[in-house]
Structure 1
Amino acid sequence: MKALIAGGGIGGLASAIALRLRGWDVTVFEQAPALSEIGAGLQISPNGWRVLAALGVAEHLHGIVFEPEAIEMRIGRNGARVFHLSMRGYAQERWGAPFMHVHRADLVTALERRLEGLQSGVVKTGHVVQGFKQSGDGATLLMNDGTAQSGDIVIGADGLHSVIRTQMLGPDMPRYTGNIAWRAVVPVDALGARTPPPTACVWVGHKRHAVTTRLRAGTLANFVGMVETDKPAPESWRATGSRADALAAFEGWANEIRTVIDQAEVLHRWALFDRAPLPRWHEGRVALLGDAAHPMLPSMAQGAVQALEDAWVLAASLDQHATPDAGFAAYYEQRIERTARVQKGSAANARLFHHASPLGRWGFYAPMGIAARLAPGAFHARQDWVYGFDATKDV
């Protein structure tokens, strides 16, 4: 059986590995001339790390990931700590796998190496997918140069602006959330004493928040800042903005945040749009995966992780059913409730971090800090449904 995968990102490569491990012949078609990712950090929570381990990818990441000391929350303007909860070692103990930070480019490289070790020449770059067609016994990817590639199934892992999803379900109807996001990666050596802490840290404030993490064994500081505005930017992962605008957005904030912005070589800026869960993810022998199936806001740091879960469940479902249509239907039924809940939780978190008035902030965050100190286990328990899930066993 031959699988054609549109998209050479995290979800596309992971699904190719998962299918190859089950005996499929796989080919990945990526529109970029080479597999490369712009600078960005990812948080791989235990539910995602379990999938990477099962795929045989985790071993390719040793030495380049970073395990944060804790998760914490700070007040954006003065850096005052709201809570600090241990994570290094604790995640393994509680959820059975570590909580890791990784550079997106490093994860893509690790996935590609693992896939090439299973089947060489799998990834075909410079192939722009235009659409698909299918029959009772096969499916075909159509390229914009007029060529076509035929196989048994097609997987649309072609991201936020998926052409496979558009053909299958029509144009999507995104809703602007009223937020734009800033992103930067800066060497720790350039930050000195103003380096953000070696944690997964949320900085909260008036109609904005930021998240700082560490990458590449702690040598890089990663920054994502979300700001409410009625003037949206393009919905593009690669769009950039000016340093002056980013500094203005976080004017008066803690030195750790402003120094990262000031020292960033490139500042990416994009608008955040929300999308409702889709009524289906497949049509016959064609299925969607990752951002193509369930785009989500970054406020739970689950976008890449949910794509990894998708990859495992999709492959396992195909393995358990007699026809692709039945396998894809089972995949959707097993995934839709969970991914919709994560989508909803991500949108809720963005609102949670943006209390407008000082009274509102302290009225909410002070009790949160007290609860975290008095009952850290109960605080962590709120993430059990996310981090404790094991896609490699719960299919």
Structure 2
Amino acid sequence: MIAGGGIAGLAAALSFARLGGRVVVSEVAPVLREVGAGLQLSPNGHRVLDALGLSSEMEAAGERTRAVCLVSGRTGRDVARLPLDRLHGFRLLHRADLHSILERACREAGVKLLLGRHVGALIDRGRRPTLRVEQRGENELLDADLVIGADGVGSRVRDALAPGAEPAFTGQVAWRATVEGEGAGDPVATVHLFPGRHVVTYPLRGGALWNVVAVAERGEWRAADWRLLGDPDEMRAAFADASPGLAGLLQRVGTCSHWGLHALPKLPPFTGQGVALIGDAAHPTLPFLAQGANLALEDALSLALATDAPATLDRALRGWEAARRDRVARALAAARDNARNYHMGGPGRLAGWAALGTASVLAPGLLLRRYRWLWDADVTA
């Protein structure tokens, strides 16, 4: 039984179904639909989709990423370039396209999708966990051998497994939007750097759309929900000193979502008796390393493989958690480091940029090796 029908939940559903499991997904939305815009797939996530038999559909939906470029947000001047075109597994995808691919594969694999069900609580009724779901004011109790919480930052499953593990505002807010493109966009992810702020842009669907994610440091926020409608003028005002090229792109934003970035002060338990957490339910991931979806994909398949082994379920869950915690913690720390580097101000900013620029010209492989521990991981092995 899986709570949540986002990328993490559907990837887990498909992973278990491929191994012969009977899988039910409970999702609050009446129609399966992914919110958000673009995502950057890296080799560690690509391998999971390969193992699930989705390579051809995924490759048709997204373009290979040629590079990640860091530029001055105010002038547009190049700071550093990380070439990715010789590395397999980097792609720029629309989240909705990946979600649709996973949904279609789940339906074909016989996964049962219960839509319009709100997860009320996880109930301990002995050896088997029970999920209480609500629909139109009526409750239904669903027993399962394993309940997986893939229900995001505000996870109700996590509430039962780790009471008091509440996400805290990180002091950063984000706007997300897509704007119409003119086709044939260069498949490069560009990070526009400002003191205390940054913007990430890249083309989607062959340049038909451009993905825009803008992040700025703020003192307070109301809610973690990224479905809140934002004000494009407020976003543009936060980046009023943008370079002409970036300012022109921001000017074309008609609607955007707006949310506060939240993280857990410390990692909660990922597992309990007959229960596991994956994706943002286990480890909300800040968008400074482009690893939220990739780590969720890793969680999903690795959990299915771990529990398919000839061991008791609880022992398998404990082994899976032990294998995941250090890697996840390292990825979260790397994302926090990137936030500091992206938002650097003062004299250190120019010195840091100069060092990055020199390294990207003289030894581009050195910059890439910094993250090979992340990208080279293969949970399918």
Q: TM-score range by the shorter chain?
A: over 0.9
**Contact 1:64-1:217 within 8 A present in 2 as well:** no
**Contact 2:197-2:215 within 8 A present in 1 as well:** yes
- Answering whether residue 51 of structure 2 is matched by residue 40 of structure 1, we say no
Task: Report the Cα offset of residue 136 of structure 1.
Answer: 4.8
Equivalent residue letter for 1:99:
F
The alpha-carbon distance between structure 1 residues 63 and 303, as it changes in their structure 2 partners (threshold 3 A), is: same
1:99 corresponds to: 90
The alpha-carbon distance between structure 1 residues 367 and 37, as it changes in their structure 2 partners (threshold 3 A), is: same
- Answering whether residue 17 of structure 2 is matched by residue 20 of structure 1, we say yes
Equivalent residue letter for 1:255:
P
Equivalent residue letter for 1:323:
T
The aligned runs of 1:1-395 (5 Å cut-off) are 4-88=1-85, 90-92=86-88, 98-119=89-110, 122-144=112-134, 145-189=138-182, 198-357=187-346, 359-393=347-381
The alpha-carbon distance between structure 1 residues 196 and 227, as it changes in their structure 2 partners (threshold 3 A), is: farther
The alpha-carbon distance between structure 1 residues 237 and 341, as it changes in their structure 2 partners (threshold 3 A), is: same
Task: Report the Cα offset of residue 5 of structure 1.
Answer: 0.5
Q: 2: CA distance between counterparts of 1:240 and 1:87?
A: 34
Task: Report the Cα offset of residue 279 of structure 1.
Answer: 4.3
Equivalent residue letter for 1:124:
L
**Structure 2 residues without counterparts, runs of 5 or longer:** none
Question: How many residues are aligned here?
Answer: 378
SS at match of 2:288: helix
Report which stretch shifted further, 172-181 or 292-301. Answer: 172-181
The alpha-carbon distance between structure 1 residues 39 and 293, as it changes in their structure 2 partners (threshold 3 A), is: closer
SS at match of 1:147: strand
Task: Report the Cα offset of residue 246 of structure 1.
Answer: 0.7
Q: 1: CA distance between counterparts of 2:196 and 2:303?
A: 38
The alpha-carbon distance between structure 1 residues 87 and 108, as it changes in their structure 2 partners (threshold 3 A), is: same
**Contact 2:74-2:241 within 8 A present in 1 as well:** yes
Task: Report the Cα offset of residue 381 of structure 1.
Answer: 0.5
Task: Report the Cα offset of residue 151 of structure 1.
Answer: 2.1
Equivalent residue letter for 1:139:
P
Q: 2: CA distance between counterparts of 1:133 and 1:116?
A: 28
Report which stretch shifted further, 297-306 or 60-69. Answer: 60-69
Q: 1: CA distance between counterparts of 2:167 and 2:106?
A: 33
**So what's the TM-score if we normalise by structure 1?**
0.92
Task: Report the Cα offset of residue 61 of structure 1.
Answer: 2.2
Deviation string 1:241-291 (CA, Å, 9 cap, x unpaired) is: 212211110012023322232212311111112323424211101111111
**So what's the TM-score if we normalise by structure 2?**
0.95
Q: 2: CA distance between counterparts of 1:38 and 1:157?
A: 15
Q: 1: CA distance between counterparts of 2:67 and 2:249?
A: 20
Q: Identity of aligned pairs, percent?
A: 38
Equivalent residue letter for 2:105:
R
Task: Report the Cα offset of residue 39 of structure 1.
Answer: 3.8
Task: Report the Cα offset of residue 347 of structure 1.
Answer: 1.2
Equivalent residue letter for 2:318:
A
- The CA RMSD measured in Å over matched residues stands at 1.7
Q: 2: CA distance between counterparts of 1:135 and 1:326?
A: 20
Equivalent residue letter for 1:76:
G
SS at match of 2:337: helix
**Contact 1:66-1:218 within 8 A present in 2 as well:** no
**Contact 1:275-1:296 within 8 A present in 2 as well:** no
